[in-house]
């Protein structure tokens, strides 16, 4: 019987996940289907009902996108350490009547940066803008890569400080600060915009002085061309800029491997989805 998988979100019409997983399944010769499901936005348990119904009908796993990552976290019977720190789940697996939750956003981001872009974090100064779910999901993978320093800047400094305290057992490289403190922080080898500002064409309050011309600027949003953040970095002399399309594909590959036991090559899917940054 063909195995069934899906992505759930709302809205969901823009999703690239069926295309990506279709390419993966074809390349690895997996007998599976993958569809998009628009989840209900009702304040009751509509999301949980849809997920449980998909599982009961033979579904093997689901990707979870906005706005359901927190609901997926609450629904899971078991969560990985990455998901626990992020407080969010972006992939579910149905196994022996249990719902397992994972968060591959951070490991997908790290793989895109280190493998696809060739930027190793070891010994580097890294700045993360934002302290939301995307940033939280990246903390453990980033700290495992052993940067010299990882600074998390956020409007609500206490939120970033709480995350720094939570990750203390995983290394002492994480430090929290406010945006108003960034002018005194010097240059970073890698600056990652993990805020939602670019989704609405806005710019996080970051000074150009944080960018190193020899460094990298990475935008988690994808398919939006030269966002205000990337334009700021380019105007500051940064030549190495990237958006989040590689992260999108790499986190999908991690979920695929978790479900199917085989990790697909990602280059073809990344090339298929890449939009020029101009």
Which of 69, 71, 93, 124 is an active site residue?
69
Strand 149-153, strand 174-177: pairing = parallel
129-175 per-position pLDDT tens digit? 999 888 888 988 999 999 999 999 999 999 999 888 887 655 567 89
Helical residues (DSSP H) of 121-217, grouped into ranges: 133-144, 157-166
- CA atoms lying within 13 Å on the CB side of residue 171: 16
Question: Does 133 count as an annotated binding residue?
Answer: yes
Packing angle between helix 133-144 and helix 157-166, nearest 10 degrees?
Answer: 40
Question: Does 97 count as an annotated binding residue?
Answer: no
Grouping H, G, I as helix, E, B as strand and the rest as coil, residue 62 is strand
Which run of H or E residues covers position 94?
strand 91-95
Question: Does 63 count as an annotated binding residue?
Answer: no
What was the pLDDT predicted at 172?
64
Q: Which domains does the chain have, with CATH numbers?
A: 3-103+246-273 (3.40.50.10860), 106-243 (3.40.50.720)
Give φ, ψ of 195 to 5 degrees: -85, 170
Question: Does 105 count as an annotated binding residue?
Answer: yes
- Would the pLDDT of 186 be above 70? yes
Residue 259 DSSP one-character state = H
Characterize 37-69 residue by residue with b for buried, 16 or more Cβ atoms within 10 angstroms of its Cβ, and e for exposed.
bebeeeeeeebbebbeebbeeebbbbbbbeebb
Question: Does 124 count as an annotated binding residue?
Answer: no
Q: Does residue 159 carry a catalytic annotation?
A: no
210-259 per-position pLDDT tens digit? 999 999 999 999 988 999 999 999 999 999 999 999 999 999 999 999 99
Q: Does residue 265 have a cis bond before it (omega within 30 degrees)?
A: no
- The token duo for 141 is 């993978």
């Amino acid at each position: 019987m063909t195995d069934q998988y899906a992505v759930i979100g709302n809205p969901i019409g823009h999703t690239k996940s069926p295309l990506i997983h279709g390419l993966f399944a074809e390349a690895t010769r997996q007998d599976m289907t993958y569809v998009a499901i628009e989840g209900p936005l009702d304040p009751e348990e509509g999301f949980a009902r849809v997920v449980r119904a998909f599982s009961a009908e033979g579904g093997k796993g689901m990707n979870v996108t906005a706005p359901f990552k927190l609901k997926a976290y609450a629904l899971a019977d078991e969560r990985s350490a990455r998901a626990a720190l992020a407080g969010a789940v972006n992939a579910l697996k149905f196994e022996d009547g249990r719902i397992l939750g994972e968060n591959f956003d951070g490991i997908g981001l790290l793989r895109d940066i280190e493998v696809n872009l060739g930027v190793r974090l070891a010994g580097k100064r890294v700045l993360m803008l934002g302290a939301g779910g995307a940033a939280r999901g990246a903390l453990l993978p980033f700290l495992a890569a052993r940067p010299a320093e990882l600074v998390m800047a956020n409007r609500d400094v206490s939120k970033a400080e709480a995350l720094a305290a939570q990750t203390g057992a995983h290394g002492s490289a994480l430090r929290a600060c406010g945006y108003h403190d960034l002018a005194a922080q010097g240059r970073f080898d890698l600056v990652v915009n993990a805020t939602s500002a670019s989704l609405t064409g806005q710019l996080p309050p970051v000074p150009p002085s944080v960018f190193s011309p020899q460094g990298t600027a990475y935008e988690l949003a994808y398919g939006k061309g030269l966002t205000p953040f990337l334009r700021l970095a380019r105007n500051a002399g940064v030549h190495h800029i990237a958006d989040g399309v590689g992260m999108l594909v790499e986190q999908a590959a991690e979920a695929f491997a978790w479900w199917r036991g085989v990790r697909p090559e990602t280059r073809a899917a990344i090339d298929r989805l890449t939009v020029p940054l101009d």
